[in-house]
Amino acid sequence: MLSPLHAAHYADAAVQQRAEIIENVCLARDTYRVRLRSPIIARRIVPGQFLMLRLTDVNDPLIGRAFALYDTVLDGNGEPTDLDIVYLAKGKLTARMAELTAGRFLDAWGPLGNGFPADPIEHLIMVAGGIGQTPFLALGAEFLGLRQYGCPPRKFPPSKRVTLCYGARSADMLAGVDDFQRMGIEVHIATDDGGCGHHGLVTEVLQSVLDSHPGPHRIVCCGPEMMMEAVAELAQRRGSPCQVSLETPMACGIGICFTCVAKIKDADGGWDYKRTCVEGPVFDAASIQW
């Protein structure tokens, strides 16, 4: 069964480029925002899509890593020229990436994956855990009608309200909260240690947002698998439509290696492994066999 979110074509707008780093700044503890010059990808990408990044001219790390679009940057004429990616420096590639300065390059290919569908909704509730907030700045901006993405640009009636429920280990790990607030997105925070916002789980914050805003809404979610499963379960219990963006390990990002599979339910009650990079990363929460 094809998911209703299945991209019509595979990497049908993807290009491979050596992209110049315009800036690489620290946003929070171990968290950075890198700005890459790539007008072609910036013009084509939509929220929820991702690119693959790789260090130039080295064989270790060998394989590219997937990074969600944080936002595109416009030039003086309103044309997208750059891409912002927000990343947590925690491993082989990202630790090296954090050391790169403006004027250096990264190999990039994208835009990849299906992205979030442009279906209008009165209230969009975005739920993020860990580094899972990254796809939601552009998505929130688009749903508030403040920005357009894609080529040709996706256009649809704006939402009345966009909320971000954002869970992190501690206050110093929260990255980009100002960016979200500046956009007019309501931000509700939960931290494991209570250092900022609600002391506890992001699902508890989501619960109270749902209680105080019963109107037509849709939940979108990205973060650790356990959290996404909990959000999906809550959404199902409350009868709320819910989409999740999976962060399955990937090796190519373009559908040719079959690394990134997730169990997706089929029509006859069973499941099949589907490639997250081409059929996702965004799936209807109800279609996932957790």
Partner 1 sequence: MQVQLGRLCLPNPILVASGTFGYAREMEHLVDLHRLGGILPKTVTQLPRPGNAPWRTVETAAGLLNSIGLDNDGLDAFIAHHLPYLRGLTAPIIVSIAGRTPAEFVEMAAELDRAAGVAGLELNISCPNVTGGVDYGTDATSCRKLIESVRQATQLPLLAKLTPNVTRIADIARAASDGGADAISLINTVLGMAVDWRRRRPVLGNVMGGLSGPAIKPIALRCVYQVARAVTTPLVGIGGIATIDDVMEFLVAGASAVQIGTANYYDPAVTMRLLDELPGALQQLGASSVQDVVGTIKRVG
Which residues are at the interface with partner 1 (CB under 8 A)? 10-16, 54, 59-64, 92, 107, 109, 248-249, 251-252, 254-259, 261, 272-273, 278
255 sits near ligand FES (criterion: CB under 6 A): yes
Q: Is 273 in the site for ligand FES (CB under 6 A)?
A: no
Using CB under 6 A as the binding rule, whether residue 260 contacts ligand FES is answered as yes
Binds 32, which of ligand FAD, ligand FES, partner 1, none (CB < 5 to 8 A, cut-off by type)? none
Phi/psi at 236 (nearest 5 deg)?
A: -65, -40
Smallest gap, in angstroms, from Cβ of residue 147 to ligand FAD?
A: 18
Would strands 186-191 and 15-28 be described as parallel, antiparallel, or unpaired? unpaired
Find the part of the chain contacting ligand FES (CB under 6 A) among 79-87, 143-151, 168-176, 254-262: 254-262
Dihedral class, residue 160 (left if φ above 0, else alpha if ψ from -120 to 50, else beta): alpha
E strands along the chain, which residues?
15-28, 31-37, 50-55, 65-68, 71-74, 80-88, 105-112, 123-129, 161-168, 186-191, 198-199, 217-222, 242-245, 261-265, 271-275, 282-284
Between CA 171 and CA 193 the distance in angstroms is 8
Reduced to 3 states (helix: H, G, I; strand: E, B; else coil), residue 68 is strand
Distance of CA 90 to the CA centre of its chain: 18
CB 139 within 8 A of CB 222: no
Task: Tell me if 262 contacts ligand FES by CB under 6 A.
Answer: no
- Strand, helix or coil for residue 32: strand
67 touches ligand FAD (CB under 6 A): yes
**CA–CA separation, 163 vs 123, rounded Å?**
8
With binding defined as CB under 6 A, does residue 259 bind ligand FES?
A: yes
Q: Give 207 or 248: the residue with its C-beta nearer to partner 1.
A: 248
When CB distances are held under 5 to 8 angstroms depending on the partner's kind, the choice from ligand FES, ligand FAD, partner 1, none that residue 287 binds is: none
Q: Segment contacting ligand FAD (CB under 6 A): 4-12, 102-110, 151-159, 245-253?
A: 245-253
Under rule CB under 6 A, residue 253 binds ligand FES: yes
Q: Which does 35 bind (CB under 5 to 8 A by kind): ligand FES, ligand FAD, partner 1, none?
A: none
Distance of closest approach, residue 281 Cβ to ligand FES, in angstroms: 10
65 binds ligand FAD (CB under 6 A): yes
In whole angstroms, how close is the CB of 154 to ligand FAD at the nearest point?
19
Q: Give the shortest CB-11-to-ligand FAD separation in angstroms.
A: 13
CA contacts within 13 A on the Cβ side of 262? 25
15 contact, one of partner 1, ligand FAD, ligand FES, none, CB 5-8 Å limit per kind: partner 1
Considering only CA atoms, which of 23, 136, 172 is closest in space to residue 83?
A: 23
> With CB under 6 A as the contact rule, which of the stretches 147-155, 229-237, 239-247, 258-266 interacts with ligand FES?
258-266
Q: What angle do CA 226, 132, 51 make, to 5 degrees?
A: 120
Integer Cα distance of 28 and 178 in angstroms: 12
Please report, as ranges, the residues that interact with ligand FAD according to CB under 6 A. Answer: 50, 61, 65-68, 86-88, 90-94, 131, 134, 247-248, 250, 281
Please report, as ranges, the residues that interact with ligand FES according to CB under 6 A. Answer: 250-253, 255-260, 275, 277
